[in-house]
Structure 1
């Protein structure tokens, strides 16, 4: 875990090294100041020698300025190193997430990933800054102060050793109790963020069903749980300061009492006692800073583990050593394919799929909810991989696992069931399909997808701004823009995963007609809940419980496939949803 995180320091290694160097220099300057103060008192003031006062006073001034300079430089480099480290962590996680397969993504919720990239990284950033500065300064100051104390008076120094033991036990107890609580705190941050994300993204549904009060209570409950855990953790951490102050005051009283006896007996000078007080305060402050470091580390350990989980997650799909860089055509072959989302599951999602689709053919896919339609097409563009011993999926005469992933996904365009538009203009969104597409090219694909009908009515046309998630366009308009975006890739295979469900039947028919006449050489796979959307396809796949129940033309399926005929009869009679269980 530590190795993974430190690997993200990257170009900020120099700043990370310079920070403790300047911090050490700052400490050495500060350590000398009480020693010089003792000289001023004993040799200058008590010796009534103003030249010594001026000499040692000037030296103290130089030491103070040097300490200030080194402190400023240490702070500057610490800020640069920790901020840069945090930036690299976020970029590293985000970059790794982009490489994830759907299988990897399924392990992490969206809210969890957001928490890890924000709250968790901030915690680690603060801990890292304390480690390279405070965790260097405090031990150095403690050790140097202890050495100076033993140099002045061994007996009095033993008081501080005893104090260190007491503080060490106190800190260990607090950290031992608080660490598991913080683990739970950050898990509940995920729940809180999930509640916010879900509520905000679905705010129209919340208002439509007047569920504001319910959602408010749900959020309030999550916030209360988080608050209770945080209070519990902070209550334990609150013992840190009283323990520290108790030790400091006890040391000061013992030092004053015992030190007074040493001065009266003549075994210690007033200047030495004064410097001893300074060193004691430095030691106590160092201990306080160390306790803060331990607390910060205990808080960030959970964050470190969560961040390293994302960084260390290995994509389940990678490019072969010598990938194929061109897809010859749109042939698709499923060779006795078995697929399961989670290894070890009792039942496969897809079972022994063995079908062969010609290049340029239009194939419909129909079946009840949960029968595996979306899973079926996700294997074609290699968004998932088949089981290790579960057959193979071929496109263009080659196993999809032999292609470069970018190549296969560019040639197999998928309009997913959940359509997503991004904030930007319509042209910006369309150019996701082809970054350098001209406006004329964008207009052509929009005509094919029947999107030009509503775009031309908009005040700014193709420069109309799309809000985040496409919230300012209708469901049907969003679907047509997503289809146009996919067409802009000029793919060998076009997959529409129930992508015209929000489009009226007349427009749906226009889109299918345009596909048939304008892109005849592109293999088209159309998943739909409506018979009308697939009945004109060259052939239709009927899926039932992850298996192929039928693969034939509309006419032949009506004659020979019971499931297809029942779906057809239900829809043509205008009654019910064909997903309902058939008798």
Structure 2
């Protein structure tokens, strides 16, 4: 919790203002019982109406001022808490954007969403409560005790019996409830994970008639969350009744012994009334503090989860040295030199001894069976992962020696799964180049064979794309993703199985346009279909992470068994011959 309090630094003057307003408001509230005692002991006893009106007027003024100060204090406290939450959410989002794929997958999307929303909300609410209640409660507690003792020190001994009982009650309930708050957050993670998987995979679930199974899975997680929540609230539900019971017994004891002292002439009626009010202030302050002490551990559990993300160091970082290239202009020569790679905590290498060179104006294709490491190989170029041994270099410069931003400016990347964002076609295209003109966008769409279907829409470039491109076909999404990369005018283009949803005719036209308009760039293409890469200048054959062949389509057909098997599996016997 302490480590995220640094986000309060910019709000320190507002916090000081809240403390001052709270102090003034508390002093005015503490003054009210004293004024009431004077009304009773002087005004009523002496039947002095002008004095009663005067004291009553002062009580009214104090009450109005206390209300105004409380409202103003609450306004600034809420402003600080909401700003505090906003800053943490922003830091989380920015930090997650910097994490590599490994760290992202280690935590999981569902948990990251929970930490950015629910956990931040818990911390934000506790901060608001601390500024509003936890600053007021100690002032009222200390002030109430001082004024109660000043009224009657003997009667104040009642607190010696009431306060320990109250403290023990709070301690035992807190001890039972606090561990369950962390469990509740974990159940929230689980619930969000299942919900997110179901929403993303709704078509698969319906296609395989798995609705009932998924309902049971969701209900199980939902019931676990419910049961934990009920258990927490059952424990917490004992707190308030027990506190009220202690308060009422304390009140009865004060009235009982106070009446005896009045009868003995040791105390006046007004003083007893004031003492009861101060006693209620003391006990209510303890209740407010107890709620604070219970909520703070819950916020600490959430803060720990937030800090777990914020303290996570990205595995892919720019080298802090004078040799690091902050700007980089590439001609596009990509070289793999004895590259080995394995995922974190994996026993087996994913890629082993990969050696090849891709040159500008040439297409390098990578083909192999599913899971052979083709996409992973491609991801090493923009440094989504770092090699374990060997090197990946561009124009002879190791990619690890280039600032990530400068490196990725030289690359047009089309991922295996076409990812589009909610917004217009033009807005999605400008993800590739933020200052692109409409003419540049149209040119890229034409090369990617996406111009016709975009312009057929009523709003053209301003047509809205639904979440994840839900209102587009798979082939349309792929073509828009390709157009977005083309718009970048990069020296290196990486296509990760980006033609799989295209028909053969569109695929052929697209490859022809790419070769014509982007002839000075380096093309590295991962493909499943031989027809998409048979015209490539060189084809790299990958099998179980190892490079088992390199050459043209004709060369590999002659002397590479693995490539022959791939071709045979995709062709008829006549075409293979």
Shorter-chain TM range is: over 0.9
Map 1:225-374 to 2 at 5 A: 225-321=224-320, 322-342=324-344, 344-374=345-375
SS of alignment partner, residue 132 of structure 2: helix
1:467 equivalenced with 2:466 (yes/no): yes
* Contact 1:181/1:233 (<8 A) preserved: yes
Looking at structure 1, the residues matched to 494 and 189 of structure 2 have their Cα atoms a distance apart, in angstroms, of 34
In structure 2, distance between residues paired with 1:427 and 1:531: 33
Q: In structure 2, what is the Cα distance between the partners aligned to 1:95 and 1:240?
A: 40
State how far apart, in whole Å, the 2-side matches of 1:308 and 1:466 are.
35
Shift of 1:368: 1.4
Deviation, structure 1 residue 391: 2.2
Query: 2 CA distance for matches of 1:302 and 1:145?
Result: 33
Aligned residue in 2 for 1:554: 553
8 Å contact 2:358–2:524 — kept in the other structure?
Answer: no
CA deviation vs aligned residue, 1:224-276 (integer Å, no higher than 9, x gap) = 11101100111111111122012101101111111111111111111111101
The aligned counterpart of 1:581 is: none
Deviation at 1:6, TM superposition (A): 1.4
Structure 1 residue 2 and structure 2 residue 11: aligned? no
Contact 1:327 1:395 in 2 (8 A): no
Q: Is the 8 A contact 2:364 2:539 kept in 1?
A: yes
Most deviating of 27-36 and 545-554: 545-554
Q: State the Cα deviation string for residues 542-580 of structure 1 (Å, max 9, x = none).
A: 1122221222222222222221111111111389xxxxx
Where do residues 67-106 of structure 1 align in structure 2 (5 Å cutoff)?
Answer: 67-106=66-105
**Gaps in structure 2 of 5+ consecutive residues:** none
Structure 1 residue 107: Cα displacement: 2.1
- Work out the CA distance in 1 between the residues paired with 2:232 and 2:356: 59
Q: How far off is 1:83 after superposition?
A: 1.0
Shift of 1:341: 2.0
Q: 1:10 Cα shift?
A: 4.7
TM superposition shift of 1:495: 0.6
| Alignment check: 8 A CA contact 2:495 2:526 kept | yes
Q: Is the 8 A contact 2:330 2:410 kept in 1?
A: no
Distance between the aligned counterparts of 2:541 and 2:175, measured in 1?
A: 59
Structure-2 change in CA distance of 1:448 and 1:574 (3 Å): farther
Query: After superposition, what is the alpha-carbon deviation per residue over 1:276-322, rounded to whole angstroms, capped at 9, x for unaligned?
Result: 10001111211221122122223322211112222222222233344
Which deviates more, 8-17 or 266-275? 8-17
Could you tell me whether the CA contact under 8 Å between 1:240 and 1:291 is conserved in 2?
no
Question: What are the within-5 Å matches in structure 2 for residues 126-141 of structure 1?
Answer: 126-141=125-140
TM-score, normalised relative to structure 2: 0.95
Provide the rounded CA distance (Å) in 2 between the counterparts of 1:351 and 1:374.
Answer: 14
CA distance in 2, matches of 1:122, 1:36: 41
Secondary structure at 2:419 match in 1: coil
| Mapped partners of 2:366, 2:179: distance in 1 | 50
Distance 2:57 2:473 in 1: 77
Q: Which residue of 2 aligns with 1:578?
A: none
Q: Quick one: distance in 1 between partners of 2:138 and 2:209?
A: 59
Count of equivalent residues: 571
Partner Cα separation in structure 1 for residue 363 and residue 428 of structure 2: 26
Asked whether the equivalents of residues 341 and 349 of structure 1 are also in contact (C-alpha less than 8 Å), the reply is yes
Q: CA RMSD in A?
A: 1.8
Structure 2 residue 485 is matched with structure 1 residue 490: no
Q: Output the CA distance in 1 between the equivalents of 2:300 and 2:330.
A: 51
Structure 1: gaps (5+ residues): 576-583
Aligned to 1:142: 141
Is the 8 Å Cα contact of residues 339 and 386 (structure 1) preserved in structure 2?
yes
Q: Alignment partner of 1:346: what SS?
A: coil
TM-score (norm 1): 0.94
The Cα shift of 1:43 comes to 1.9
Counterparts of 2:415 and 2:9 in 1: how far apart (Å)?
A: 37
Q: Which residue of 1 aligns with 2:386?
A: 385
Task: Check conservation: 1:178, 1:298, Cα contact below 8 A.
Answer: no
What CA distance in whole angstroms lies between the structure 2 residues aligned with 1:454 and 1:129?
52
Output the CA distance in 2 between the equivalents of 1:362 and 1:355. 13
Alignment partner, residue 504 of structure 1: 503
